[in-house]
Each structure stands twice: as structure tokens, then as C-alpha cells.
Structure 1
């Protein structure tokens, strides 16, 4: 199952990415900024924020380009249950979007909750990037997520 690889991806990023940087950019490092935290909390709207975020396993930030503009992607998952509970966040200095992923062991059903997705570029390319973060594709092929400006 494709979600089983997330824990391995997080371990590899923890070993390679973190060694190069004393303080890697992760969800919790961004949540140390009260202004960013307010943006993050507002992204959920009326959707409940998962309680497991307080002790989540996290990956290091990844840079992507959407509509010719740079964005950052963060990924976190429920500690000891990464395959079933994840959140991906895509943001720049103006916008923030998210995807909450939920499933159960050996289930073919995925529950996707899109957060703050409107009708702009994020409704197609943003969803693609967020889902690719959940599946691990973004981390395996980051160069594939450079989307030029739409004409």
C-alpha cells in the first residue's frame, strides 16, 4: 500500500535533510510563529483541527512552484499511525491551503478534507501538490512539482 512508505520517507528526510540544517523547517517550527499559527488555524475554518498535531511526526519543508510562484509544503502525521492520519499544508506569504487525510488499516476508503481550497490555481495544481505530499510522490520527485504560470 502506498501509504506505508510515509514513515520511511520521514526517516530518510530526518537523516538527510536534518543533518544539513541545525533547525529544519517543519510544521512545529512554523507553529512557533504566532502570526503563522493564526493563518494555519484559520485554514481549518469550521473543520476541527486534529488533536494529534501537538505530537505529530513531521517532515522537513519542501519548496514547490505553483502558477509560477514559490510555495512551501509541510507534512505531518499522527505519531505511530502515519499511514492513517496525515496533514499536508501548502503556503506562501499570502495564501495557505491544506489536506487532511484519514483512513483505516487495510481500508480502500480515503477521507480527504480539503482546507481553504477555493476556485483558483489551488483547486487543481494545489490539490495535486497536497495529495502528492500525502502519497510520498512529492518527496520522491520534487522536480515534478514546478508548475509554470498559467496562460
Structure 2
């Protein structure tokens, strides 16, 4: 009988404690990394996305039917980036997108992948890729984000700048 009272008290404390101390509950809550869904509320991220896209035509699903996941931290060229991906709802296999977002500079790089399983082809549309480090390591990281490798092994995608010997 005493065990039941103690169990009920423990459940009540666990349930009501966050309500009594909301700041402590928020402090201990797991932090979710930003995702492409934040384009709707993060004006700086939305501006970086718009600049990245520029005059390129992008599929409509990106605006209204995208399924997103929290981003992963990666680095290359001495800078940290947020690697984020999205796919079209109910068509994730053939319609995917990945971006690298430099939060400090407010710059974004991306790729849109469209595949045809019957033909065995995949078309890649690169966005805002220039001649800088995003042209080599950035493309590799973007493709690794599309494939899920970055999410599965984020610690393996933190490239340190080369040092002179």
C-alpha cells in the first residue's frame, strides 16, 4: 500500500514540477536544431534561402509540401554550417533537397535532387555554388546530407582546415 502512495506521489511530482518551475523545465528540455521548416519564422534564414535560390526555378513542393528534419552541425574551410534536408511529402525518394547554412555569415548553399528509379538517373541542381570551398567540400557535404550520411554520422563531417607544415 505504501508503495502505491509513493508511486502516485512520484508521478504527481514529475507531472507538476515543470508547471511549477517552467524556466527549469525549459532549461532541461532537449534542444532541437533548426530545420528548413524554420524558413517560415527565421527571417535571416529565409533571406539566405532567397539569395541562394536567386533566379533559379525550384519545385513547388519545397514551399508547401516539404518534410524536414532537424539539422546537423558540420564544418569545412574553417567555418561551421548547419546541414539541413527536406523531401517532398509522400515522395521522399525522388524529390529531395539539402542545404548548408552558415549562420554567422547568413549564407546558404544547396542542392535539389530529382531521381527517376525506372531510368536509374538522378538530376542535381546546385544552388549558390561558386569557386570557393563550397565548390568542393560543400558539394560533398550537400550530397552526404541528401543521402543521410551526415545525420547518421555527424561527427565524421567536421573537416578541419589544412595546416602548413
Q: TM-score range, shorter-chain basis? A: 0.7 to 0.9
TM-score (norm 1): 0.80
Q: Which has the higher contact order (CA 8 A, sep 6+)?
A: 1
> 1:35 Cα deviation (Å)?
2.9
Number of the residue aligned with 2:140: 128
Q: In the TM superposition, what are the counterparts of 1:79-98 in structure 2 within 5 Å?
A: 79-92=89-102, 93-94=104-105, 95-98=107-110
Where 1:130 maps in the other structure, the secondary structure is helix
Number of the residue aligned with 1:64: 74
Hey, which of these two has a bigger chunk of strand by percent? 2
Higher Cα Rg: structure 1 or 2? Answer: 2
2:36 aligned with 1:27, yes or no? yes
Q: In the TM superposition, what are the counterparts of 1:1-151 in structure 2 within 5 Å?
A: 20-21=30-31, 24-53=33-62, 54-92=64-102, 93-94=104-105, 95-151=107-163
Does the CA-based 8 Å contact 2:33-2:72 persist in structure 1? Answer: no
> 1:24 Cα deviation (Å)?
4.8
Gapped runs of 5+ residues in structure 2? 1-28
TM-score (norm 2): 0.73
Deviations 1:49-106 (A, max 9, x none): 2211222111111000111221101100000000000110101122210010011234
Gapped runs of 5+ residues in structure 1? 1-18
Does the CA-based 8 Å contact 2:85-2:98 persist in structure 1? Answer: yes
Matches of 2:51 and 2:98, distance apart in 1:
15
RMSD: 1.7
How many aligned residue pairs are there? 132
